[in-house]
Chains A and B, each alone.
Chain A
C-alpha cells in the first residue's frame, strides 16, 4: 500500500470543446482552449515550479515562480495566468528562468524559518519541494532585518512586532503566521471552494497577513472549519493538529464519509492502523476535493473511550450489563427471539436499521427478517425522514430517487430550495450551490426560518417565502396556480411526457380561487406578491432546479408536498436535462441506499412491492424460503403494536430510536413493553437503556461496504483499521442469522453486493470490481445503462407518462391555540450530526455544546425571556427546558431547536402525528408554549438518572 497521489495541474480544467496545439519544451501538446500553459505542461508530465497555484483554485499569478519563456514574446509571463495559443512554443527551463526562480525562492526563504527537520509539514511541503526544484543553495539576506519569523530581534533581543504567535484556537488545525508565504491560497479556498469569505489578507506589501475575520482567532471568526484552507496551504502555516501529533502518513485508502447524504469521498491517510487525517479526494464525483467540518475532522468518535467493544447481555433492562462472549450473546439473542416467535407468532418480532449502515448491512438485516423471522417487519430510519420522497416521487415519475447528479447545479439558472438548509445539513453541496449563485443563478428559498442561504456574504435570495410551518402544500400549489393562470406551463413538454387528462384535472384544481396566492397568504403569512413573483421566476428564469429536504417530508402532508413539487417541475418542463430536476437532499449517508435495499416493510430490494409475485418468487428461489406476501410494520406501527402487547422483539442496528423518533415517552413505553431488544451500535446509545442484548458495532473505518448518496451514487467504504469490536457489522448479522438456522456463508461484503446485483434489476451491473475501477456509479446500472445514469427521465419517465396528482391542502391537526400559541420546528446545525452519537464525541461540540431554542424578540419579550435564559417548552406530548436564543432568524410565532443532544430531549415535545401515506413523523410542526424556567424539567432530571442506571456494567 502507498499514499494515493493526486496530480496537481496547477489551474482548473477548461470545459471548452475547441482544441489548441502548442509545443512545450519540444513536445507537442493538444489541450482545450482556455487551458493555462501550466496545466498544458502538466498534461505531458512537465511540472513547472509553482507556489500560489493549485488546480482547485482560479489562477492568481502572485508567486512569480511559474514564469516561462515563449518564442516571439517579450518577458517571462506567468504560466498559470497565460492561456495557450495555437502554435505557441514554450520553454519551461532556461538559464534566465532558473535565475529568476532562484531569486524569487531566495526572497521567500529569507522570511521563513529553517526548521524543516522538526516541521510538521516535513515531507509534504511545497515550499521545501520548490526550494529543491529551483536549486536554491544559499540565502544571502540573512535574518537580521525585518522578518515575521522570530519573536525577538536577533540583533538586539527586542520584541519583533512583525511576528505573530501561533493561533491554536481551532481544535483541529493550527495557524502559524511565521510560516506563511502569503500565497493567498487559503483566502481563495475560503472564497472559491467553501464560499464563506472568513479569510482575507490584512495589510499591504511586507505587512500582508492572513486574517481570519477582523484579525481574530480562527474560532472567533466566521470560519466554519471545512478544512479547505488547510488543504490549500502549501506550507506548515495551516496544519492539522493530528499531523503535528503523529507525523506524515505512509499509506492511504479512498473511502466514503459516513455523515450526510452528500457522500463525500476521502483519502483516509494512515500510519499503520493509526489514522493521521482524512483528506477530501479530488476525484470524488460528489465532492470534487471539498469537505466540511464533520467529514474532514470529526472521525475521533471511532476511537472514543465510551466505545463499547465487547458484547453484553442482561435478563431485564433494569439490570446492570454483563460482559459475555460473542457466542453467548448471539445464542442469548437468538433464543429469546425464538421463544417470542413460538409464543406470540412470527409477526411479533422485527428489525430497524439505520441509514448510517452500509447497503450490504441493511440488505442482510432485511433478509434476516424476511428469510429468518418469516415476516416483513423491517424498517429503516428513512421512515422518519425521506419515506414521503419514496412514495411521492414513485407516484409522479415511477422511481423513488432524485433526478439529477450534484454537478447538474452548475447549469441551473434558478434554484428553488424548499425546507432544506444545505449550508448546515449538506455543507459540501451547499458550497457548490453558493458557487453557482455567485455566478449569477437566481434563488428562491421557502423556509420558515432565515437560513444562511437567504443572506450571507455574496449570496442573497431573490425571494424568501417565510411560510408558517405546516403550509407547504398550500404554498407549492399556489406557485402552480400562478404558473397555470398566467400561461407559463410548458405545454409541449406536458403533452409529450405526461398524462394530458390528469394534467387538465390538475390545472383546473390549481386554478381554483382557494389556491390563489391571495387566499394562501391568509394561511401561510407569505405575501401574495412574493408567491407570484417566485412562481414567475421559477417558470421563466431558465433552467430551474428544486432542492428539498426534511422541511418538506416531515409533515402530515409530506408525501403530498413531494408530489406538488413534482407537479411544478413537470408543468414547467424542468426535468430530464442538466440544470433542472427534483432533488431530495438526503439526511444521512445511506438513506438512498437503505431504501434501495428493501429495508421498507412493503417492498423488496429495488422498490418491488412484496405482493409482486414475480419479484417475491425470485427471492424465494434464491433464498430457499417462502416469503410473507403481506406488508410488515413501519417504525411507528411497531411502537403501537408493542404497546398493544403484540410486538415483543426488536433488532435495532445503528439507530437510536429513543432519541431520534418523535414523542419520546411513547417510544420508551414501547421499548419497555418488549421482551427482547437487541441494540447493535458503537456506543450505549439512548435506546440501549431498554435493551437486553448489546452487540458492539464497527465504525465505517473498520469495514468494507458501500453507501449510496443522494444522487444515487454507489461508492465504496474501505476498511483501514481492524474492528475494535472484532467484527464488521455484516458479520454480526450473519452470526445472528446462523443462530437462526440460516445457511449464510458470506466471506466478504462484495459477495453480498453480488447477490444484490443478481436479484435487483436496477443494480444488475454493480460490483466491487466495477466500483474499484470507476470509483462510483449512479444506479440504474444495468444492460440498458451500463455506466449508470447521472440524470434520469431524459426521454420519458420511468413509469411511462408523468402523473399529475391533485394536492389538496389539509391543515395539520397540530394547531396553535391559547394553550400552545407558538409553532416549534426542528432542524440541524453544521457541526453536529443527527442524534450526535458521533459528533458529540468529537471536538465539534466546541461549536455547539447544547441545543438551544431560537425565539423571536417579540415572542421573547411578551414572555419576559432574555437571551440565554432557561425556558420551558411545553407541548401536548411533554415538556423540556432549554436555553433561549433570542433572534429574528425565526418569524414571530415560530420557535426552532435542534435535536443533537440526548439530555435536551427535543423529541419529548414532538407529537405522534405523521404523514398520511408513509407515517413519516411530523417533526416540523409542534404547537408549544414557552415560559421562563429555572432549569431542567423533572422529566429531564429523571431521564439523566435513568441513563446513568441503564448504563451500569457489572464488574467481572
Chain B
C-alpha cells in the first residue's frame, strides 16, 4: 500500500495516461492534461507539477508531458 502522496499521484496519472495513450482519435497528451484539469483539484495538480519539477520520477511519457503542459499554462 503506497500512502506516499507523490507516489499515489504518479500512479493515478499513469493510469490516466494509459487510457489516453490508447485512443487513436485524439492527442494523448492533450487528453491527459484535460482530464487532470477537469477532475483533479488544484492541490493535487500542484502536487504532480511539483513532482515533475523535481524530476518526475516514475511518470510515464504521456502523463509527464501532460503535466509539463499544465505547468506551462
Contacts and interface: CB of A to CB of B under 8 A. Distances in A.
Contacts of B42: 347, 630
B23 A805 contact: yes
Interface stretch (A783-791, A821-829, A915-923): A915-923
Contacts, number: 76
A377 B24 CA distance: 34
A663 B1 contact: yes
Contact of A631 (B11, B12, B38): B38
Interface string B1-33: 111010010011001101100111100000000
Interface string B29-56: 0000001001111111000000000000
A646 B16 contact: no
Nearest to A918: B39
A151 to B, nearest CB: 64
B41 to A, nearest CB: 5
Interface in A841-890: 876-877
A634 B8 CA distance: 14
Contact of A637 (B1, B35, B44): B44
Contacts of A917: 16, 19, 35, 39
Given A502-B25, A644-B5, A631 B15 contact: no
Contact of A505 (B5, B18, B24, B41): B24
Interface string A498-517: 00011001001100000000
B41 A916 contact: no
Question: Secondary structure of the B side of the interface?
Answer: helix
A602 B23 contact: no
Interface string A643-658: 1101000000000000
Contacts of A601: 41
B12 to A, nearest CB: 7
A666 B41 contact: no
A505 B25 contact: yes
Interface string A480-510: 0000000000000000000001100100110
B38 A611 contact: yes
Contacts of B41: 347, 376-377, 601, 630-633, 637
Contacts of B16: 916-917
Interface string A434-476: 0000000000000000000000000000000000000000000
A407 B46 CA distance: 48
A556 B15 contact: yes
A808 B18 contact: yes
A605 B23 CA distance: 30
A919 B15 CA distance: 11
A139 interface: no
Contacts of B11: 813
Nearest to A809: B22
Contact of B15 (A376, A611, A666, A810): A810
Nearest to B13: A916
A723 B38 CA distance: 40
A813 B14 CA distance: 12
Given A509-B24, A911-B1, A912-B1, A641 B15 contact: no
B43 A641 contact: yes
Contacts of A805: 23
A58 interface: no
B39 A631 contact: yes
A808 B38 contact: no
A640 B42 CA distance: 14
Given A637-B41, A806-B24, A560 B1 contact: no
**B19, B24, B40 pick with most chain A CB within 10 angstroms:** B19
A916 B16 CA distance: 5
Contacts of A663: 1
Contacts of B22: 509, 806-808
A808 B1 contact: no
A637 B15 CA distance: 16
Contacts of B38: 602, 609, 611, 631
Q: Which 5 A-B pairs have the closest CB atoms?
A: A916-B15, A808-B22, A505-B24, A633-B41, A630-B42
Interface of B: 1-3, 5, 8, 11-12, 15-16, 18-19, 22-25, 35, 38-44
Given A560-B19, A918-B39, 18 more contacts: A347-B42, A347-B43, A377-B41, A601-B41, A630-B41, A637-B40, A637-B44, A643-B3, A663-B1, A806-B23, A806-B25, A808-B19, A876-B1, A877-B1, A914-B12, A916-B15, A917-B39, A919-B12
